[in-house]
């Protein structure tokens, strides 16, 4: 196959990918804008975190370093030895508070422990993060990986894999 044919096929595939629906094109544009804002974050010794709660699971949410796109964030389990999570409280019953901060964005101070732990309810081996301090950044930050993502309380529906391939950061 010659170079012109390869380029034509690549262009057709890209066009089909982008034209499958307006949502994909809109998603790509929104992701690019979000990443531009992220690149303007102040560097420092902190992390940006987004609470992602699926009932029954033990992971806490996504954590990334400043100026790193959400596509490269880690889904983590929290080590609460130094600091309880902001939503620490009853998980069941009339006074349930666990998970009430779904989709809140935080500034986190702490570090990865270097350990991994298994969350049996999501069947994932995840990094462990030990927070020293949480600071609420935004209680309504909007979407995490793409505007058309859909949150489910029954499964892990929001993960970097839902980002269109052409928007992934290399």
**Per DSSP, what are the bridge partners of residue 50?**
62, 105
State the average pLDDT for the chain.
85
The reported pLDDT for the residue numbered 135 is 97
What is the residue range of 30's domain?
21-167
Looking up tokens 């505007």 gives: 147
Token pair in block for residue 40:
């303007």
CA distance 37 to 146: 15
Per-residue pLDDT in tens (0 to 9) along the chain, 170 residues: 665 544 444 443 344 344 334 468 889 999 999 999 999 999 999 999 999 999 889 999 999 999 999 999 999 999 999 999 988 776 777 877 677 899 999 999 999 999 999 999 999 999 999 999 999 999 999 999 999 999 999 999 999 988 877 666 55
Flag whether 2 is in a domain: no
Token pair in block for residue 14:
């890209």
Strand runs (DSSP E) across the chain, as ranges? 47-51, 61-64, 74-79, 105-119, 124-138
The reported pLDDT for the residue numbered 164 is 79
CA distance 103 to 159: 13
Report the Cα 127 to chain-centroid distance in Å.
14
Flag whether 3 is in a domain: no
The Cα angle at residue 101 between residues 95 and 106, in degrees rounded to 5: 145
Instruction: Tell me the pLDDT tens digit for each residue of 16-39.
Output: 344 334 468 889 999 999 999 999
Interstrand relation of 124-138 and 74-79 (parallel, antiparallel or unpaired): parallel
Q: Number of structural domains, the chain?
A: 1
Flag whether 39 is in a domain: yes
Flag whether 14 is in a domain: no
The reported pLDDT for the residue numbered 99 is 78
The reported pLDDT for the residue numbered 16 is 37
Token pair in block for residue 17:
């990918």
**Percentage helix, strand, coil for the chain under 3-state DSSP, each rounded to 5:** 25, 25, 50
Flag whether 52 is in a domain: yes
């Amino acid at each position: 196959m010659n170079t012109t044919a390869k380029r034509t096929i690549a262009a057709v595939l890209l066009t089909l990918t982008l034209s499958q629906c307006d949502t994909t094109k809109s998603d790509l544009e929104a992701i690019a804008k979000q990443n531009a804002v992220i690149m303007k974050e102040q560097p420092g010794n902190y992390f940006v975190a987004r609470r992602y709660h699926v009932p029954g699971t033990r992971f806490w949410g996504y954590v990334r370093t400043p100026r790193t796109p959400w596509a490269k964030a880690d889904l983590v389990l929290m080590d609460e030895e130094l600091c309880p999570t902001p939503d620490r409280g009853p998980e069941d019953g009339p006074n349930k508070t666990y998970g009430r901060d779904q989709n809140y964005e935080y500034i986190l101070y702490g570090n990865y422990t270097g350990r991994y732990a298994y969350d049996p309810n999501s069947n994932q081996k995840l990094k462990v993060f030990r927070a020293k301090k949480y600071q609420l950044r935004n209680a309504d930050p909007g979407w995490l990986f793409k505007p058309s993502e859909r949150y489910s309380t029954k499964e892990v529906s929001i993960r970097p894999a839902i980002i269109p391939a052409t928007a992934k950061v290399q």
